[in-house]
Amino acid sequence: MRYLPFLSSVHELVQPEHYLEIGIRNGGSLALSTCRSVGIDPAYNVTTELSAHVSLFRTTSDEYFSRPSPLAVVGGERFDLTFIDGMHLFEFALRDFINAERSARRTSVIVFDDVLPRTVDEAARERHTNAWTGDVYPMIEVLARYRPEVSTILVDTEPTGLFLVLGLDPSDTVLADHYDEILREHRHADPQPVPKSLLERDAVQAPQRVLDAGFWKVLRDERAQPTGDGFSRLLREQLAQDFGPGYLP
């Protein structure tokens, strides 16, 4: 399954009231939104018709989130769904996640694009290929190590995979507190040490299996009627049912 049809289904499943997209390019993915949306890209060239109420910002994500109130444009509401497809360099992806989570709800979903490079060349920091993921892929290991309480799903979409992050905590500061340490450990000079498991797409989920899973309803139900501290447990239990007892969120 290509990533855009998958994302279209994600919009239907999440039913977001507010949507954020970092890196909008020609607007192909932003056009999937039917709710109040914010798009950030310093060099966007939207050629696709947008049907939602969209606020476009021709700026970097760092500049946008440095504003006194980045949520003011959506009336102070938090984003239920975020798609990160900005600069394909690890440090930008890390900062985008930190800022996106801070602007999310615990029931929100954050989606990274381009986490499954098909070759080491595609993952280079210095682009020299037509198709290019950059070094976004270390976000998988970073979240597993520094934020084991969040749940993550690697999705085998074409061409270069998606990475879903669930069970968010907008108040958590671990990644920001350890930012310099994380960069020293996970930002590498080319050629990139892409794990063989990623190149071979081990431990990734089939797109349709993810779309058919039950955790989407857990997210929607929690947003409609919060259960408090039990939400994280319910989410993990559902993910284990969806993907098997060996699933490690």
pLDDT tens string, the chain, 249 residues long: the values are 999 999 999 999 999 999 999 999 999 999 999 999 999 999 999 999 998 999 999 999 999 999 999 999 999 999 999 999 999 999 999 999 999 999 999 999 999 999 999 999 999 999 999 999 999 999 999 999 999 999 999 999 999 999 999 999 999 999 999 999 999 999 999 999 999 999 999 989 999 999 999 999 999 999 999 987 889 999 999 999 999 876 654
Expressed in angstroms, the distance from the first to the final Cα of the chain is 22
Residues 32, 15 contacting (CB under 8 angstroms): no
- Domain assignment present for 89: yes
pLDDT at residue 172 in the model: 98
Residues 100, 84 contacting (CB under 8 angstroms): yes
Measure the CA–CA gap between 47 and 25, rounded to whole angstroms: 9
Host domain of residue 121: 3-206
**In the 8-state DSSP scheme, what is residue 77?**
P
pLDDT at residue 224 in the model: 93
Whether the model clears a pTM of 0.95, i.e. scores above it, the answer is yes
Name the residue among 153, 150, 128, 131 with its Cα closest to residue 214: 153
- Domain assignment present for 172: yes
- Domain assignment present for 233: no
Q: Provide the number of structural domains found in the chain.
A: 1
- Domain assignment present for 97: yes
Q: Tokens representing 139?
A: 């976000």
- Domain assignment present for 29: yes
- Domain assignment present for 238: no
- Domain assignment present for 164: yes
CATH of the domain at 125: 3.40.50.150
**Distances in Å between the alpha carbon of 81 and those of 12, 181, 244?**
11, 28, 25
DSSP element (H, E) containing 231: helix 231-243
- H helices, E strands: number in the chain: 10, 7
